[in-house]
A and B are shown apart, each in its own frame.
Chain A
């Protein structure tokens, strides 16, 4: 065991990211897919913060990006859930495999 540093945090964020990706790819429920997306966003946030901390500690760009991403994530989640609920209302299902009316 060694002192935790940038590599450790990057490992966590990578793991979280691909966990989210896997969830996004394998879940059929739209809400759980949304959750996976939140995981992905969080892993990105973690990256930003870690880089800000370890590589450019004198600046705040990573921090601000994180802030904005959180804000946008909130908006995104709200819109996504609105869409999901609307979809549920119209087709009584939020299975992603059924939501394919707009193909071709």
Chain B
């Protein structure tokens, strides 16, 4: 399978949106394009499985390389392993859902969809790039549209949030850039991940470069204490913006932390693992406790994202194969889940025009579909078996537990404690909004979900269930790739 189609499809869709004549055309083109992407992602998954089944054990499949700047050794180098495939699949799901829930955007529709598709494009490109420079290029592509999405279509103090988000992410990018150049010059003038992974980099260099790269990508994935763009950014962003932000963008960071920082600089990873674990354990617990006090649904999900994404970082910091697999599962799972969460919050907000938990009550009666989905996603968030969150968190726990010393044990326990706190805040939110007596007369006439919202929700719920009920396929996808990374860390 030619990986270029994964960039081509969103690019063509975005261009087609630009030349569309009216809003209807824009919407339908975007929808068709995003479904095409979904189809391609699924085709990629099938092709990947087929290749693996045919005993193709190459680390990266479907590799392609085109020279770009020969003098700087930059080239378009593409290839996928299990992690990339999973992430691409996640992206395509979120893109479709994002397009569907934005059906009612009336303000500057064309530009809105264009930016959404551009964001998707950035993510696809990021996940298939094997060249650091190109990777960075796509990372930046996916940052700028977010600024505009929040700044133009956002709500609340949107300028502040947009600025904060863009500045913090740009700060992260700057660190990444420095780290990247450091790699380039210390490891034989190459940006190619495959080449770099074979290069020997002295521990002293790794000692300097690892924090740069990890923290840089960490900003994207809400590494404590650089997570503060998350609550503001999410709460101000339009629904689809929040979905993309939490569902895709935060995963770019996690992927980068693993693929670039940890994989290329294993000594650095070992050296800093303790700090990563401490920070992520703090993020998990502290995020959960902070969530407990939030009153705005979007803030609730934003803080809970901080807490959940902490599991990814914890898994990476634990440096065992199972923990890393769990971390990756958590990324995929959280991506789908949080996108759905934001979609539901958006649907509720569209109807009630409030996101304050205290202003709602008994929505189950008027909106059974939305409320049911809210239930499902809430249960997923608190780690109910059969839904994706459980699988990921348990894998992280089991992986973490394989480190037998007291420090890792305590960190794991602290992280595990959060599942109780999660239950508390999720149930509070659900209990107040969809259950309980109706508190607002105006809410009695509200309508349930439209076809587009239903489709989006069903797609994402299907994703959650597919991971939650039969996690085997995802495990098969991620575990070998995690093993490659582990082998590099253990030096085999």
Complex contact flag A–B (Cβ < 8 Å): no
